Structure 1
Amino acid sequence: IGGTAGSIYLIVADLGSPSGEGLDFINGMTFLERFYSVFDTANRRVGFATTPFTHVTTN
């Protein structure tokens, strides 16, 4: 998308999937940078924990 190195950008796009069926949302890099994320595929769950970056201010 271009932009400045070291910057964080919000990108919004239509996934083409109606709510209630299939993929409803994606947690992108900006969200995932703020938390320690654990993906437990065997038990079909995702866990999040706070990090020093969870409550930083962005514009």
Structure 2
Amino acid sequence: MDESTTVVAPFAKAVSAWTAIGITSWSDVASAAAFLYTLILIFDWCWKKFLRDWLKSKGKK
């Protein structure tokens, strides 16, 4: 197995995985990254505002 085959195979798998979920351009990648970052920020806000205090009131740490 030569070096070009070992590099191309993982790259091809990654590209096929991205296209399987509908990401085919850099603007799609940016949209997906923004979506994931927004979800993380929303979860962090909910955790700090509601969930952490609710769990403390239930006696869990």
User: TM-score, normalised on structure 2?
Assistant: 0.22
Higher relative CO (Cα under 8 Å, sequence separation at least 6) belongs to 1
- Which one has a larger percent helix, Structure 1 or Structure 2? 2
- Which one has a larger percent strand, Structure 1 or Structure 2? 1
